[in-house]
Structure formats: C-alpha cells, structure tokens
Amino acid sequence: VNPKQIAAEHAVTLIKDGMSVGLGSGTTAAYAIPAVARRIETEGLRLRCVATSKASAHLAHANGIKLSSWDSIETLDITIDGADEIDPEFRIIKGGGGALVREKLVATVTADEVIVVHSAKLTEALGAFPVPVAVVPFGWPSTRRRLAEKFGCEVSIRRDASGDAFTSDDGMHILDMAFGAPLPRLDTIENEIRSVVGVVEVGLFFGLCHHLVVAHSDGSVEVKAAPK
Ligand code: 5RP
C-alpha cells in the first residue's frame, strides 16, 4: 500500500461521530475520502461533510458520501487535506492542485486542520515549491508582470493539459511564483502578494495547520501537533 494512503487512512481515524468534516483535495486527500465513506458505512458515523474542490465532491459522491452545502456551514470540526511544502513551524505552501481558494476558506474555519504529507514534503525553509497565487482571469498578463516586477522572481501562468490557462473551480487562473528557498519576509510575504491588484488568494497557509500526519516511505506514520 502507498505510504500516503496509510497516512491518509490514519488521519481519518481522528474523525468522531457527529463531526463536521472538510474533505481536502489532491492525491493524498483523495485516499481519505473512501476511508471516510467506509467509516460512515461500517460504524454508522453521522457526519456533515463539505468538499474543497469539485474533484473531491465528485469522489465523495462516487463513494456514497452525501455532502452539505458550503453555504450552510459556519465552522468545521476537522479537515483532512494535503500540502506541497511544510516547514518546522507548520507553515505551508499549498495549491499545487489549484484548489487553494476553497481549501483556504475551509481551513480558516476548521478547528482541527489535519495535513497529510509524504515526508519528502517536509522542508527546513519554504520556497523551493513555487507559491501558487489565484488571480482574476481578466488582465492576468498584467497581474503576472506586476508580481514579477514587485518580487523579482519568475512568475508563470499554470496551464492545463490542452495548453490553455488553467481555470480553477472558482474561475480563477493560477500564477506560480518561483521564489526559491528560503522564501523571504515570512511575516509579511502573504499580505504583500495579496495586496497586488488582481490577486484573489495566496497559497501560503500560515497558522492554519493544527496536526500533521507524515507518511514515511517504510509505511510508518507520524502524527505531530503544531508547535505552540
Ligand atoms: C491542491 C493542494 C494539494 O493538497 C497539494 O497540491 C498536495 O497534493 P498531493 O497530495 O497530490 O501531493 O493543495 O490544491
């Protein structure tokens, strides 16, 4: 079995009856969804679930999970999601799958955000993975240019398989900012990027992760609580 699957299934054991649950996006979070469905089926758990992407919603439906409308949810007890890079302070780069806007909306109101990653995604200093930035499609080349000029790094438009600009579930394009490690000015960089006109959301999730579930290549799983 894939180590990511073992870790995702371990994360699902943290869910308790009666909880409201956020279902994350990406290949790791995808392993959690059938495991949630199995617990509902075998243990009769009563859960209210919301998905962070159309792909996760589709997978949830395919596994027989009935989803609640995001508009009807004010807070969530637990969310299980993946990440692209995470540092020792549990600062995260996310959005490799382009779902960062919904993922951040969900993480922001989640009491226990559980992030599941392969150990290869742990890093001492963020920035090797480009920071995904969701932007309004209108005038994206101008937004790209202004971001590149302001931060002095390469900024590229994410493309889909047919070569068109990738469009997220919320109709945004994604610009990937290749800062390189270490990411500068960790205290302010998120707001610096967000203040650029055209930017909707930044794939930096700082202070949002409560538990980390690490998948090791040998199949072992480590659960860590966020540093105080
Ligand atoms: C999607 C995400 C994913 O959680 C992140 O890209 C990790 O994906 P994977 O588990 O497939 O490596 O942020 O927007």
Distance 95 CA to ligand 1 centre (A): 6
Is 124 considered catalytic here? no
Mean pLDDT to the nearest integer, 88-113: 98
Look at residue 100 and tell me whether its pLDDT is greater than 90: yes
- What pLDDT does 1 receive? 84
Mean pLDDT to the nearest integer, 165-188: 98
96 in ligand 1 pocket by Cβ < 6 Å?
yes
Sign of CA dihedral 72, 75, 77, 78: positive
Mean pLDDT to the nearest integer, 63-73: 93
27 in ligand 1 pocket by Cβ < 6 Å?
yes
Mean pLDDT to the nearest integer, 149-166: 98
Look at residue 28 and tell me whether its pLDDT is greater than 90: yes
132 in ligand 1 pocket by Cβ < 6 Å?
no
Give CA–CA dist 212/167, Å, rounded.
29
- What pLDDT does 115 receive? 98
Give CA–CA dist 212/180, Å, rounded.
23
Asked whether the whole model's pTM tops 0.85, one would answer: yes
Distance 144 CA to ligand 1 centre (A): 23
Distance 28 CA to ligand 1 centre (A): 7
Look at residue 73 and tell me whether its pLDDT is greater than 90: no
26 in ligand 1 pocket by Cβ < 6 Å?
yes
Give CA–CA dist 181/101, Å, rounded.
23
Contacts of 143 by beta carbon, 8 Å cutoff, 6+ apart: 135, 136, 175, 196, 197, 198, 199
Mean pLDDT to the nearest integer, 57-65: 98
Whose alpha carbon is nearest atom 6 of ligand 1? 96
Token readout for 101 is: 């806007």
Mean pLDDT to the nearest integer, 4-33: 98
**Residues 97, 24: contact at Cβ < 8 Å?**
no
- What pLDDT does 47 receive? 98
203 in ligand 1 pocket by Cβ < 6 Å?
no
Mean pLDDT of the chain: 97
Mean pLDDT to the nearest integer, 161-175: 97
Distance 71 CA to ligand 1 centre (A): 23
- What pLDDT does 8 receive? 98
State how far the alpha carbon of 42 is from the alpha carbons of 32, 45, 65, in Å: 15, 8, 13
